[in-house]
Structure 1
């Protein structure tokens, strides 16, 4: 399943309107905050369905300073963004219910354009901001206060 998502992400990422050179980022220097999110691959899980999470992520991305939204693909659960000099993908992926998790859950993470996990300082920072803002944005969506992102 993950390989199918990665393949689809690579195909969609290559479909951008103008070719762009992907610069290899310099190795990040980790602050204490970076190390905290770095416990794993920087992904996090929210207790919400994928559609609502994807919509909430889009609403947050278009309002965050320094984030340049490039494209989106709802069927794949992705947004391609530029942030802090890096171009990468924010991925939302529905998680299956388990004995520990009975309700809806969605994982939010970052990938490089080639589909590999992105654990750069910029990606971790953006994921931290999304994790901080998602509960309020999801509450607005659930209450009917927001719909799909307007781009």
Structure 2
């Protein structure tokens, strides 16, 4: 079965699919509010991406393009932010999270995220490093020479 990361449509079917994640996930990973806001604002492009296993949404992430107004990243004026990433329990440890992160990395922009729900080691395996010595945010920068902390 060929698995692909795809842009999720902003519609009522997606809302129903997101509800299955809320059953398993923590409130901080719920994306229903973001989906409702996007539908109300009538955005034509969705910040939501997912992987279907058969006809079931097995993994999802919320991915935003941000401008680096604070100059956190010396190598780029823009970066991606993975706001939330979640894989349903039945599909964990099967590479779905990796597929979502690799999809984001394919844009060749720095990626920032804030680890949630004990996910720090996952992000470290994906070569994300702290933005600074005091920050809880992590970054992956395709332009960084090495994986040292970016100051």
What's the TM-score, normalizing by structure 1? 0.30
Whose RCO is larger (CA < 8 A, sep 6+)?
1
In terms of fraction of residues, the more helix-rich structure is 1
What's the TM-score, normalizing by structure 2? 0.30
In terms of fraction of residues, the more strand-rich structure is 2
